[in-house]
Structure 1
């Protein structure tokens, strides 16, 4: 392609996921906005996940009058993304599709878009936008992964509702060298771990804090932030030295990336919790994941987190290779023993191109993944599983999930949920688990006002009056 060098107006959309709100803007669209603006183009982003009350796509289109439209796609939001596409298709402007779903399922999208981008788009977005042609149909664009060092800071001021940005998303690196059987990261952002300059990251945060007056928290969204411990330790030390003075959270944390020094620094940074991906504690199932770490690493990390008195979150996956109802009980027993502060029981989603998908193609069935999410949230009710095997049928998977949340006393599930839970208890014969859960949940409910009060006092001392009011209201309504 040759650049036309003509300034264009680009309108990006990110569809909302059902039963899930976020105070954090889409970092990928923020960076693409900055890249395009640097080349003289005008950008607007409508991120319905960040701003669910934003106007309908057709209203934004008529107001902004873009030359090119882009949508970032996730498998879990395809239903809503298709609704957006339907609204904007009548305006006959070039449509670019990108994001994880476009990378994994590009062949399914060529009939509904002018261009489909595979991989990270920063290196090709300017040329693509400048030459976008409505007469092109279903062209697949492959993009080489960019060097994060050469990318500008994300421009979140292009987002509708950016004034309300509370959680600031940060990337200190991209990619993950591991090859977990169920994970699609290597297909989207590669196995090559690419880090940013730490001073550059801190400069971005200082600038953001000055720009977004309601900013109250920083979340590191790296694929694997702790792959190089030296890297994350330097970041944490500079974060504390810079006196940004906002709670810091890091997601996608591996057990083997944790040590005493890192946990001490995270505690000083007021990290709200540390999450560990356990996946399964059944030895056979765990071995099939190929995580590159051991169950001993996980136990050691759990003990270290408890030693530092940091809130602990554990994540499990139901339905991995070789899993069964009986084997899931091994993970349930582990969770009951550890008693984490938060716990997540996720249903396997065998994405195209992953090792787990190949395993299911040989050993079971995979159903339509569209609009399916592995993360069970919102009302805590299990979505219809999208895969099964003869040894672990769909009904057994749902039973395993309900058994897990009752036995491990999910901290988000309360006594008021009895009427919604009971039909599943009756269907799967989980009466013992149900009647053991009720007194635990009742005790938790009775303690909640006192825990809530202590949390509010802690927030007030750390954040001051203005942010205290905002976060308190979020807790009350959440």
Structure 2
């Protein structure tokens, strides 16, 4: 049986090949392990392909697999419709955040969906297809043990789609790099995020982390790594040590992300020794009130202390910020600029608040004094994660009530103006990411 994954164009990203399809590669690797030559497996990579030309790149398969996110669902639906016209007998299976949050809607497009983590469910779906008893909905409620599954083989993509330069800081931008994930889940529950659908935090065994990195070095000449994990340096000191020592054995340079508070200085030192050159720190807001409302329990003074520790260890700082959070003061743009001036990060990624389906602000907007504009197409939600260009105007995802539970609400026009003011400041200093 011929089974193929199909992705999307990634058109919202200036460099879509920086977003590696690790989840799809993971699942294809598991199917290869479980079914061997009973399946003919491949991956149709549509990154960088114009949508109206996508169908010319899709080979005929018996089963197509799709990973669906809410901002990409419209493009995926159009792709599925085109594939059905060309190959009407094929089945289409889907999983991912959108299937978890909107299962009934998803079943209007796909023959079957997977709710929960797919490592156990997808092989069962394939077995049921072979036995001609495919169900509509498959559900996995538990959290898988990552050590029971192989690391994702990259052989389903050409080398040119796996490694690229510019993965690290400007100083190291010539190095060939790629991305990887060695953990899953997030222990925190910020109200603007839907990370709870990832399940509890789990980290692969150190031996398996080292094995995957050595595989990337040996097969693809990788010299630099971008860790896509929610935490590359963990708050748990012993957990952090085991991960960082596993990375350090490989002699690779890398960058990743960490919490703003609670990281032990010894973990930072070990991160540097293991090859870390940059850490992205998700402050999200310079307003303590907004942070508290969003359940982002960090202390900004302690975050500044953490920045000092990173600098003492010669690790560059990338700052992650969101504007438009409930409870922000009117002068949040200037406060944000002042914070950046004081802390001097190397890069800043600035987003505007987007009510992501599955997040607390999506599930109960009235609690935050918000009215979500349901007329805004989900494709526009990609603005929260990427830009078509640096001058793109933010959509009006929502409006605050004039009086919210947290005081007077800003209009969306004011929020967009604040976003543009800070973006202009970042562009002038060439630290916008």
Pairwise same-fold verdict (TM > 0.5): yes
Partner of 1:158: 156
Match of 1:452 in 2: none
Using the TM superposition, give the Cα deviation of residue 285 of structure 1 relative to its aligned residue in structure 2, in angstroms.
0.8
Is the contact between residue 114 and residue 121 of structure 2 (CA under 8 Å) also seen in structure 1? no
Q: Are the structure 2 counterparts of residues 332 and 300 from structure 1 closer, same or farther at C-alpha, using a change threshold of 3 Å?
A: same
Q: Tell me the residue number matched to 2:411.
A: 393
CA displacement 1:122-173 (0-9 Å, x = unmatched) = 011111023239x9999232223311010112121123x2454213332222
Q: Closer, same or farther in 2 for the Cα pair 1:351/1:398, shift >3 Å?
A: same
**Structure 1 partner of 2:33:** 38
Q: 1:77 to 1:410 in 2, by over 3 A?
A: farther
Q: Which has the larger radius of gyration?
A: 1
- Residue in structure 2 matched with residue 250 of structure 1 by the alignment: 256
Structure number having the greater helix percentage = 1
Q: Which residue does the alignment assign to 2:378?
A: 370
Q: Which runs of 5+ in 1 are unaligned?
A: 1-7, 415-477
| Counterpart in the other structure of 1:404 | 422
Hey, what's the Cα distance between the residues in 1 that align with 2:410 and 2:135? Answer: 39
Shift of the 70–257 alpha-carbon distance from structure 1 to 2, 3 Å rule, reads farther
1:234-256, CA deviations, whole angstroms, 9 ceiling, x for partnerless residues? Answer: 2222322x3x33321223x1112
Shift of 1:352: 2.6
Change in Cα spacing, 1:330 to 1:23, as seen in structure 2 (3 Å) is closer
Q: Which of 379, 383, 387 is the matching residue for 2:389?
A: 379
RMSD, aligned α-carbons: 2.8
Cα distance, 1:321 vs. partner? 2.5
Matching residue of 1:106: 103
Unaligned runs of 5+ in 2: 164-176, 402-408
Within-5 A mapping of 1:430-445: none
- Residues 99, 358 of structure 1: CA spacing in aligned structure 2 closer, same or farther, 3 A cutoff? closer
Distance in 2 between the 1:257 and 1:162 partners? 38
Q: Distance in 1 between matches of 2:414 and 2:137?
A: 40
Contact 2:7 2:44 (8 Å CA) reproduced: yes
SS at match of 1:273: strand
Change (3 A) 1:146 1:322: same
Q: Distance in 2 between matches of 1:410 and 1:353?
A: 35
Q: Indicate whether 1:16 and 2:9 are aligned.
A: yes
Residue pair 1:285, 1:323 contacting (<8 A) in 2 also: yes
Aligned-pair CA distance for 1:313:
1.0
**Which of 275, 282, 307 does residue 277 from structure 1 map onto?**
282
Aligned-pair CA distance for 1:85: 1.4
Whether 2:261 is the aligned partner of 1:231: answer no
Give the TM-score normalised by the residue count of structure 2: 0.83
Under a length normalisation based on structure 1, what TM-score does the superposition of the two structures give? 0.76
Tell me, in whole angstroms, the C-alpha distance in 2 between the residues paired with 1:274 and 1:394.
Answer: 31
TM-superposed deviation, 1:84: 1.7
Q: Secondary structure at the match of 1:303?
A: helix
Q: Matches of 2:427 and 2:193 in 1, distance apart?
A: 27
Aligned residue in 1 for 2:314: 309
Q: 2:112 aligns with which of 101, 110, 115?
A: 115
Counterpart position of 2:405: none
Query: Aligned pair count?
Result: 398
In structure 2, what is the Cα distance between the partners aligned to 1:376 and 1:30? 23
- Residue equivalent to 1:455: none
Counterparts of 1:48 and 1:272, CA distance in 2: 31
Q: Distance in 2 between matches of 1:261 and 1:16?
A: 42
Shift of 1:328: 4.4
8 A Cα contact 1:182 1:354, kept in partner: yes
- In the superposition, relative to structure 1, how do residues 383 and 55 fare at CA in structure 2: closer, same or farther (>3 Å)? closer
